[in-house]
Amino acid sequence: MDPSIEPAGFVVVSDTGDRIHFLDWGGEGRPGVVLIHGLSNTAWAWAQVARRVAAHRRVVAMDLRGHGLSDAPTGRYEPELLAADVVAVAEGSGALDPEGVVLAGHGFGGIVAAWAAAALGERCRRLVLVDGGWEDIAASSGMEPDEFLRGLDEPPEVLRSMTAYLAERAAFDPATWDADQETAARATVVETPAGRLVPATRPHALAACVEAMFDYRPATVLPAVRAPIVALAATSPPPVAGLPPMDLAVLPATGHNLMRYRPDDVAAAILGGAPG
């Protein structure tokens, strides 16, 4: 891994005319890789993994619509729309070529990656689900989307200043806190003139993504994926009926963000190795 690598930022225009931003980490190996972050996050969440993958493969990380520097149109965020954004980034960045593309998604990004993999058919060479994408959230959570959405709110004391926010994020696991993690954390908030923070993800977009997540049925989507599926879980997931065979690896970690806590293993899974 080269810690000096800094990505360039680009945008592609989707079929709906919306601009979707991505970070290009370079690399030359094939097939290329597209990385997709989870709720309320940005492409920078993948920095540690992207640096490792770029040593072997062409790799980009995208901002979902409504997140990061991508456009945030109003309305429902339909599966077909979110999948089309992934395909637009894969094609526009050059990550997708005749050898196909590898898709990796974290949390909600795993759901989006699954939708995109199904849409790509044989052009998707590998689907990596990082702590998400195999679960029916509506069934397993017992919540309504509005209730789940309220649970995503940050405590006011965490948002009182950038110092407080970064300290809270670092405290999750001080050993894995570094410059990349700080950049990723800063990208998820906006500092007001008064010094307080507000989430960078647009509220209407976050609500629309949660609605889409609750509509996801893995037993319908994943069997339509023609590529091998690798699943990485922070804890042993409960069985879900109707799923296709998957190569599951449980990677015990401090929390949900396996890209921060287990970057070597996540990179290995994307590259086709054996994580854990």
In this structure, is residue 191 part of a structural domain? no
Tell me the three-class secondary structure of the chain, residue by residue.
CCCCCCCEEEEEECCCCCEEEEEECCCCCCCEEEEECCCCCCHHHHHHHHHHHCCCCCEEEECCCCCCCCCCCCCCCCHHHHHHHHHHHHHHHCCCECCEEEEEEECHHHHHHHHHHHHHHHHEEEEEEECCCCCCHHHHHCCCHHHHHHCCCCCCCHHHCHHHHHHHHHHCCHHHCCHHHHHHHHCCEEECCCCCEEECCCHHHHHHHHHHHHHCCHHHHHHHCCCCEEEEECCCCCCCCCCCCCEEEECCCCCCCHHHHCHHHHHHHHHCCCCC
In this structure, is residue 213 part of a structural domain? yes
CATH of the domain at 67: 3.40.50.1820
In this structure, is residue 164 part of a structural domain? no
In this structure, is residue 126 part of a structural domain? yes
Q: How many domains does one find in the chain? A: 1
Q: Which domain holds residue 67?
A: 8-136+203-271
In this structure, is residue 88 part of a structural domain? yes
Please state the pTM of the whole predicted model: 0.97
In this structure, is residue 141 part of a structural domain? no
In this structure, is residue 247 part of a structural domain? yes
The one-digit pLDDT tens for each residue of the chain (276 residues) are: 677 789 999 999 998 999 999 999 999 999 999 999 999 999 999 999 999 999 999 999 999 999 999 999 999 899 999 999 999 999 999 999 999 999 999 999 999 999 999 999 999 999 999 999 999 999 999 999 999 999 999 999 999 999 999 999 999 999 999 999 999 999 999 999 999 999 999 999 999 999 999 999 999 999 999 999 999 999 988 888 899 999 999 998 888 999 999 999 999 999 996 565
In this structure, is residue 78 part of a structural domain? yes
